[in-house]
Structures are given as C-alpha cells and as structure tokens.
Amino acid sequence: MSDMTTIARPYAKAAFDFAVENNALAQWAEMLTFAGAVATDDTMQDILDSGYAADKLAEIFVSVCSEQLDEFGHNLIKVMAVNGRLNALPDVCGEFMLMKHEHEKTIEAMVISAIALDENQLDAISAKLEQRLARKVMLTCSVDETLIAGVVIRAGDLVIDNSVRGKLNRLSDTLLS
C-alpha cells in the first residue's frame, strides 16, 4: 500500500459517508474525478509544490475548479490544503470510486480484444461476468491487434486471458519447464 493511499483513505471515507448521507454519490464522484484530474496537471503540480501558504493553495485550486465543485467540495479542498494533502486528490478519487463501486455492487471490467467486438459479444461477456462476480459490470473496451485473436478481460483482481498470444505464452512456458 502506498503512502498516498494511506493518506487518501480517510478523506475518501469522509467524502463517501457524506455523499451517501446526502444521496449525492454521483455528484461527488464527478467532483472528485475533476479535482483529481486538476491535481495531476503539470502546472497545478508545480503550484502545489511551490510552497504557497495553505489558504493561497486552496484559493488557487478552488478558483480552477470553482464551477465543478459545490460548497462541500470547496470545503474538502480547503481542509486538504490546510493539511498539505492536495497532492493526494487523485488517490482520494480512486479510493472514493472503490467505495462507490462496492456500495453499488458494480465493477469496471476492461475488455481487450484483437478486433472490435459487436454488441451481442459484449452483452454475452457482460452477462457471464455479472454471473461470475455477482455484480453489475461496466465494460470498457479496447483493441490490441497483437493479441492475434481472442480477448483479455480484467475486472479488479480477476484476469481472464483467452487470447491466442496468451495461450502461446503459456504453451512456451510449459515446454520450457
């Protein structure tokens, strides 16, 4: 576990609890995603590392994110600035999203295929994953022609490599051992 994850978890938990209490999970997910993206920007990184006072950092950050954050989002930014933790915002967003997915019983799955998949194939993959994981699955698809054929599916810690390249690699490992 990284130091930033340890730092981010209490902020994410507080934001998550507040969002659940106020029935605003989607709104907080959007706010934290935006704030996390701003925090990773090179120019903002330079500002965060510049040594400005906490109130000045909070003011700059809030002015950049102003329309994307509500008053409670502004308060989170101010608290994180006072504690010198604005660099942890991307990790706060990541932790928040994990809590959100766990709460909603959803999971994001990455499907990498050798060719573009049609809707029927994606529906079949989604249905099988939902049955196996007992969660609602949100698919993100991409094409990697180096797979030769087949798919690689990543959902959390689960990796299903049903590609020809993967099978050739496993065959090679077996023959060499």
Asked if 86 and 162 sit in the same domain, the reply is no
| Residue 77 contacts residue 62 (beta carbons within 8 Å) | yes
Q: Give percent of the chain with pLDDT exceeding 90.
A: 31
Section 28-43 average pLDDT:
90
Asked if 65 and 150 sit in the same domain, the reply is no
Asked if 12 and 93 sit in the same domain, the reply is yes
Q: Single out the residue in 102, 123, 143 at which a domain terminates.
A: 102
pLDDT band at 119 (very low <50, low <70, confident <90, very high): very high
Total tally of structural domains belonging to the chain: 2
Q: Provide the residue range defining the domain that includes 57.
A: 3-102
Give the per-residue pLDDT at 46: 84
Asked if 111 and 86 sit in the same domain, the reply is no
Asked if 57 and 95 sit in the same domain, the reply is yes
Residue 120 has pLDDT above 60, yes or no: yes
Section 113-138 average pLDDT:
90
Section 140-164 average pLDDT:
87
pLDDT band at 157 (very low <50, low <70, confident <90, very high): confident
Asked if 126 and 63 sit in the same domain, the reply is no
Residue 2 has pLDDT above 70, yes or no: no
